[in-house]
Structure 1
Amino acid sequence: MIVLITGASSGFGAEMARKFAQQGHKVIATGRRKDRLDDLAAELGAAVLTVAMDVTDKHSITAALDSLPAEWREIDVLINNAGLALGVAPAQTASLEQWETMIETNCKGLVTVTRLVLPDMLKRNRGTIINIGSSAGAYAYPGANVYGATKAFVAQFTLNLRADLVGTGVRATNLAPGLAGGTEFSNVRLSDDAAAAKVYEGTVPLSPGDIADTAYWIATLPPHVNINHIEIMPTCQGFGPLLIKRNT
């Protein structure tokens, strides 16, 4: 298989690249930080092709896809992993610029890459699209505002892809993790490494390896099997009562 992974320079993306490459598949690792991608290629060898690509820039995406050598163009699996959360402020004080960045990356970037890769999958009557969502797309919590909304978009977009792709041989999955460590997610969101570390204190969160294993399982199922949605949480995470503000 040829697997294209966005946001492959760290975290889930890098670990998914390792998983597929180590299992004998070809990986197109894309991201903005070419030096990180080149380190990944040095680690994994000729199975990995690195391509600089910014999913918030349509021209960057088209240039990256146009640059692929002929033998790398038949993409079997697209993993839309690039995404981020920025800030935890309530909506009334949150940064509009941060909201826009999340929408540009998590929604617009994902749909642009999908739209550009999908037609060739349809021509071959095969392919798998794995969109990395989040449990935040299903469950609201204070400070999630636009981040949670973007992941709800990912969930619904994936289901609508399924509606359009019935009978085509092309599959689509929303892979939605809960609390996950071992990535830059909280460091980017909070812009504070100490605060980010506290998010995981006393927990055993999901790891990038857990997500990579799940993505690999989805991609290697028999071609008649589609996983519409898979939500994963660590055992230390669960569900609580709805938030209530009490007057005292």
Structure 2
Amino acid sequence: MRTAVVTGASSGIGAATAQALSRSGFHTVLVARRADRLEQVAGKIRADGGRAAAVTLDVTDRAAVTAFAAGLDGCDVLVNNAGGAFGTEHVADADPDDWSSMFQVNVVGALHMTQALLPALTASGDGTVVVLSSTASFTVYEGGGGYSAAKHGAHVLAGTLRLELSGKPVRVVEIAPGMVHTEEFSLNRYRGDADKAAAVYAGVDAPLTAEDVAETIAWAVSRPPHVNIDLLVVRPLAQAAQHKVHRTG
């Protein structure tokens, strides 16, 4: 059975991706910092007849990532999903610590995981690295400077890695979602303010769900080995662009 490692798998897109890959026949290794949430997701996968392991791990901790990789028997797919946005302040007022935190988890964490697992991915003879970026990675907006910068870093990581792995049996897939309504993303960004978090999606008919993005990832990973989905942008119908969102009412 092929093995897929999914970071940030305790909730949202990561949890849904682990479940989608399990349904596609993968043994899924779920990675995140919250042990209780991870085990809940892994338990659902097992209850559905899949194989899943839950590993508590902070992807920004290089030593821990190295130890994790050393303990794996093999890896066929790595989904670099761990990430997040912190704060909506304009550049003039932004907290540099927020920018640093976003860069660490969205970019450096993905770098740690990719470097640690690249030998196993290559040895598999048919490896795939998936990088979750965002439409924010190539479209800036007020209050989103730090997040856009971090996701642009993830976009650059994916593009550069694809060039550097040319000729090797490892695909690099970048998925760039637009507006996705998950339980925690906007809540974390607005520092727990539920009203502000809810306002992001107010009047939007059917924003993307975590499951929508997860199915997109599973589809990209399941293409024949000679087919690489370099960059796939996925938005809800209501969102024509970063600044163009149709709202009712």
TM-score of the two chains, using structure 2 as the length reference: 0.92
- Deviation (angstroms), 1:64: 2.3
Aligned length: 238
2:85 match: secondary structure: coil
Structure 2: which amino acid aligns with 1:158? Answer: A
Mark the CA change 1:232 to 1:88 in structure 2 (over 3 Å): closer, same or farther: same
Contact 2:139–2:242 at 8 Å: present in 1 too? Answer: no
Tell me which residue corresponds to 1:97: 97
Alignment of 1:59 with 2:63, yes or no, is: yes
2:71 and 2:36 mapped to 1: Cα distance?
18
2:242 and 2:31 mapped to 1: Cα distance?
37
4+ residue segments displaced more than 6 Å: none
2:94 match: secondary structure: coil
Tell me which residue corresponds to 2:177: 177
Q: 2:222 aligns with which of 216, 220, 223?
A: 220
Mark the CA change 1:241 to 1:101 in structure 2 (over 3 Å): closer, same or farther: closer
Contact 2:77–2:121 at 8 Å: present in 1 too? Answer: no
Contact 2:76–2:124 at 8 Å: present in 1 too? Answer: no
- Deviation (angstroms), 1:63: 2.5
Tell me which residue corresponds to 1:238: 240
Contact 2:134–2:177 at 8 Å: present in 1 too? Answer: yes
Percent of residue pairs identical: 35
Residue-by-residue CA offset, 1:48-93 (whole Å, 9 max, x unaligned): 101010011112212222333xxxx211100000001001100111
Which ranges in structure 1 are unaligned for 5 or more consecutive residues?
243-248
Residue-by-residue CA offset, 1:78-136 (whole Å, 9 max, x unaligned): 00000010011001111111111101101111111101101222233320000000000
Contact 1:52–1:64 at 8 Å: present in 2 too? Answer: no
Contact 2:158–2:174 at 8 Å: present in 1 too? Answer: yes
Tell me which residue corresponds to 1:134: 134
Contact 2:59–2:110 at 8 Å: present in 1 too? Answer: yes
Structure 1: which amino acid aligns with 2:42? Answer: A
Match runs of 1:99-248 below 5 Å: 99-191=99-191, 192-203=193-204, 204-239=206-241
2:140 match: secondary structure: coil
1:231 match: secondary structure: strand
2:230 and 2:104 mapped to 1: Cα distance?
24
1:37 and 1:126 mapped to 2: Cα distance?
27
Mark the CA change 1:91 to 1:224 in structure 2 (over 3 Å): closer, same or farther: same
Residue-by-residue CA offset, 1:128-156 (whole Å, 9 max, x unaligned): 00000000001110011121011111112
Which ranges in structure 2 are unaligned for 5 or more consecutive residues?
245-249
Tell me which residue corresponds to 1:245: none
Mark the CA change 1:189 to 1:241 in structure 2 (over 3 Å): closer, same or farther: closer
2:240 match: secondary structure: coil
Tell me which residue corresponds to 1:23: 24
CA RMSD of aligned residues (A): 1.5
2:87 and 2:224 mapped to 1: Cα distance?
40
Mark the CA change 1:224 to 1:146 in structure 2 (over 3 Å): closer, same or farther: same
Contact 1:180–1:205 at 8 Å: present in 2 too? Answer: yes
